[in-house]
Homo-oligomer: A and B are copies of this chain.
Amino acid sequence: MNELNPQHTEILESISQANFMTNNLWLLVATVLVFIMHLGFAALESGFVRRKNVVNILFKNVMIISIGLLSYYIIGYNLMYPGFNPGGIFAFNGFGLTPPEGGMGPSNGDYTFWSDFIFQGMFAATCCTIVSGAVAERIKLEPFLIFCVLFVSLSYPITGFWKWGAGWLDARGFYDFAGSTLVHSVGGWGALAGIILLGPRKGKFKKGRISAIPGHSMPLAAVGVFLLWFGWFGFNGGSVLSADPELVSLVFVTTSMSAAAGALGAFIVSYIMYKSYDLSMVLNGILGGLVGITAVADSVSPGNAIIIGIISGAIIPLSIRFFDQLRLDDPVGATSVHLVVGIWGTIAVALFGKFEDPNVGQLTDQLIGIFSIGAFSFLTAFVIFWILKKTMGIRVSENEELQGLDIREHQFTAYS
């Protein structure tokens, strides 16, 4: 039988190459899906702001994906996946990209180095997109773009490294499958720092009363939410990092069931609270369901995914009221959707996750992850925004806010 081995080895190598091609293809298709989430956020946020600030929010979202990808290329990726210092808190692998020998092919992975970079790059810019919605209608453009470059280049990758780059949280057994904490809460903490330092929009809280400031286009907002769900198949499904049939298909089911249940949870609770069929609550309920399942989508049954989703959706109207009562003004509800539900989803890992290794996803470690990443992200964002506030200022003038940012920052209107 020995004489067969060369043929046998060659055949097994061919099969391995075939699987490599399929796995890599799925990561690339998932990249395309995550990319379109940036349109989802752009549509959602521009639908939820007033007509006079639409060009501004579109401009920001277009620039975020662009400078986000460039920043992540120059620094971020090498901070997040330095390839050494396992268990560590910080490491850096130089500027720009140099593909390793073999490019993460069959011998050391299921996809190429380029596939890994572009998939992770699409994730990275997301954290600033989350911020842009919360600080909308009053932040100045230049400081916001500077914040984005710093947040995507430095803050997001360092906390990302702690788990996905095999750093100290990963070593502890902290689990966050596709980023309830690492992406969504991180963006949510950045958003919270921003809205604290910015203050509320004029007219939001006057004479002790909370005024709803309705968005200018519900169809745009709905388009955004459908596209985000669409993209989430890549966000969660691609995070399997291979085309493993059982895992990817399970992730599709848990992600969808949680999104559907999120709509139902928000529908029921907002109806109880307001006796009204509130479209914006149901839309945010779907997003809540998606954020909530993200940390555990590959390790939970569809039935439990429905429970996670219903709770995620139910949290939305309660959390939005909570932030309103704190006089924290978030025009799109990003802090509720991404921060509060992101925390819930990370806790749900400990409650519903099924893992072979009993050290994975323990409640203590989940809480340590939530707090350490939350503290780091919030403080970094707060310091960046604070310095920008003291130097160039972060808020537009009262007059500009009244007239709208489109006319004053862009000399343009969204519609004519």
Contact = CB atoms under 8 A, between A and B. Distances in A.
A96 interface: yes
A67 B246 contact: no
B55 A279 contact: yes
Given A22-B18, A252-B115, A219 B263 contact: no
A393 interface: no
Given A121-B256, A219-B217, A283-B62, A248 B28 contact: yes
Contacts of A282: 59, 62-63
B18 A18 contact: yes
Nearest to A69: B260
A1 B222 CA distance: 64
Interface stretch (A29-37, A173-181, A193-201, A370-378): A29-37
A215 interface: yes
Interface stretch (A183-191, A225-233, A318-326, A355-363): A225-233
A219 B220 contact: yes
A237 B24 CA distance: 13
B277 A416 contact: no
A410 interface: yes
Nearest to A409: B277
A413 interface: yes
Number of copies of this kind of chain in the complex: 3
Given A15-B18, A73-B302, A35 B249 contact: no
Interface in A71-118: 73, 96-97, 103, 105, 111-115, 117-118
Interface string A289-317: 00000000000001100100000000000
Nearest to A302: B97
A286 B35 CA distance: 14
A358 B230 CA distance: 41
B218 A42 contact: no
A252 B31 contact: yes
A15 B7 contact: no
A302 B32 CA distance: 18
A12 B15 contact: no
Contacts of A256: 35, 69, 118, 121
A29 B233 CA distance: 9
A43 interface: yes
A416 B279 contact: no
Contact of A35 (B215, B223, B229, B276): B229
A233 B103 contact: no
B43 A219 contact: yes
A141 interface: yes
A39 interface: yes
Contacts of A202: none
A261 interface: yes
16 contacts: A21-B245, A24-B249, A25-B25, A28-B233, A29-B29, A39-B230, A42-B226, A46-B219, A46-B222, A66-B264, A66-B286, A115-B249, A118-B249, A214-B413, A217-B219, A219-B220
Interface of A: 1, 3-4, 7-8, 11-12, 14-15, 18-26, 28-29, 31-33, 35-36, 38-39, 42-43, 46, 50-51, 54-55, 58-59, 61-63, 65-70, 73, 96-97, 103, 105, 111-115, 117-118, 121, 141, 214-220, 222-223, 225-227, 229-230, 233-234, 237, 243-246, 248-250, 252-253, 256-257, 259-264, 267, 276-280, 282-283, 286, 302-303, 306, 409-416
